[in-house]
Amino acid sequence: MRLDEAIGTLRSMRRLKPDAVAEADLRAIVEAATRAPSGGNIQNWAFIVITDAKQRRKMGEIYREVGTDYLAQFFGGAPDPISMEPQTHRLYESSRHLVEHFGEAPALIAACMRGKFPSKPESAAAFYGSIYPAVQNMLLAARTRGLGTTLTTLHAHRQEAVQAILGLPESVHVICVIPIGYPEGKWGAPRRRPAADVTHWDRWGTRRTES
């Protein structure tokens, strides 16, 4: 698969089949993560591949607890589908499905960072800037293998509980968790604003039309 095709069809897949994911594919996905840029080449990342059913169920319980609260806040309780925009309703339904079935994904990968959470903005930029390129590599590597993914961060609200489940030392923190599996949905271009609408040239507000 061409890189531009993988990028152009990398949708969030929240509905996953229960079919097992080959260990070789999971290893290749993590390998792709380790090829990403790392600030100062420190490589203070770590990846927990979770395939054990009990471990996945425990992670799913946490996601359900936090996700239920998040959906209530973001969508205002149990929304009326009739009053919602079709796109918003689709997002709600897919998000609700993930909240209810997170632990049923055949594989989860927790992307972690070693060290203290940064307190200064400039430190935070380098800290998170050293893990999210690795995460994007994983998403693309999964896409090229026909595997669906979505980036989730709600487990961060239960950091201590997650650390206990995964046996992490205090110095290692989960930044995000990626469910991985064969998608039930179809691949396709995600809905995004045109690049021209968010592109400024040399300074804010200066636009260029395509020639």
Q: Are 194 and 154 spatial neighbours (Cβ–Cβ below 8 Å)?
A: no
What is the per-residue pLDDT for 78?
62
Q: For the chain, what percentages of helix, strand and coil (3-state, to nearest 5) are there? A: 50, 15, 35
Cα separation of the two ends of the chain: 29
DSSP secondary structure of 151-171: -B-GGGGGHHHHHHHHT--TT
- 127: region left, alpha or beta (phi > 0 left; psi from -120 to 50 alpha): alpha
Partnered with residue 181 across adjacent β-strands are 148
What is the per-residue pLDDT for 77?
62
What single DSSP character describes residue 116?
P
134/136 Cα distance (integer angstroms): 5
109: tokens are 């990968």
Q: Are 170 and 182 spatial neighbours (Cβ–Cβ below 8 Å)?
A: no
Q: Chain-centre distance of CA 79, in angstroms?
A: 25
H or E segment to which residue 7 belongs: helix 3-8
Task: Considering only CA atoms, give the Rg of the chain.
Answer: 18
* 84 SS3 class: coil
Q: What is the pLDDT along the chain (211 residues), one digit of tens a residue?
A: 899 999 999 999 999 999 999 999 999 999 999 999 998 888 999 999 999 999 999 999 999 999 999 888 877 766 666 666 777 778 888 999 999 999 999 999 999 999 888 888 888 888 899 899 999 999 999 999 999 999 999 999 999 999 999 999 999 999 999 999 999 989 988 889 999 999 999 999 999 988 7
